[in-house]
Copies of this chain bind each other. A is one copy, B any other.
Amino acid sequence: MKKFKAHTSTCPIVYTMTYIGGKWKPIILGRLLNGAVRFGKLAVQIPDISRKILTEQLKELEEDGLIIRHSYNEKPPRVEYELSGIGQTVIPVLMAMTELGSQMHEAITKHKRRQDLFAKKIPVKATSIPAISKKDSRS
C-alpha cells in the first residue's frame, strides 16, 4: 500500500489505512487474535504469502507498534509475534471484516444470478487459509 501524501488529520479511515492497509496486514493480524504465533507457523497458515513479504509486513506492523516481536535466543531460532496493547484495537476491525465476509459470502450463494459477477473476484486455488479457530498455538 502506497502511503498517503495527503490528509493532515481529519479522516481517521485514511489514517487507519496507513497502518493496516495493504493486502496482507489484516490477514496477518487475524492470525494473532489467539495469542503469540511464531514466524514459521504464520508462513504455514498463510501459504500464499512469501516469507520475504511476511517478514516485511511483520516488521512494519512492529514499527507501527501494532505487534510485538519476541525473539528467543535458541538453537534453531524462535521468534514469536503478538498483538500489542494498541494492536488489540484492530480486533473490532477484524471482527467486522469477518462479519462482512460472511455476509458477502451468503449474499453470493443466495442470489445465483449475481454469482457470475461475484465469481471473478475469487479465483480459487487449491491451497486454502484455515479459518480462525480458538486454539492452535502448537506447531
Q: Which residues of A contact B (CB under 8 A)?
A: 1-21, 23, 26-27, 30, 47-48, 63-65, 86, 89-90, 92-105, 107, 114, 117-118, 121-125, 127-132
Contact = CB atoms under 8 A, between A and B. Distances in A.
Contacts of A117: 63-65
Stoichiometry, copies per complex? 2
A13 B94 contact: yes
Contact of A89 (B1, B26, B104, B127): B104
B118 A65 contact: yes
**The 9 A-B residue pairs with the shortest CB-CB distance in the complex, in nearest-first order:** A12-B101, A15-B101, A10-B131, A92-B96, A16-B101, A6-B48, A93-B96, A11-B129, A16-B97
Given A90-B100, A97-B93, A13 B1 contact: no
A12 to B, nearest CB: 3
Given A23-B21, A123-B5, A124-B7, A13 B118 contact: no
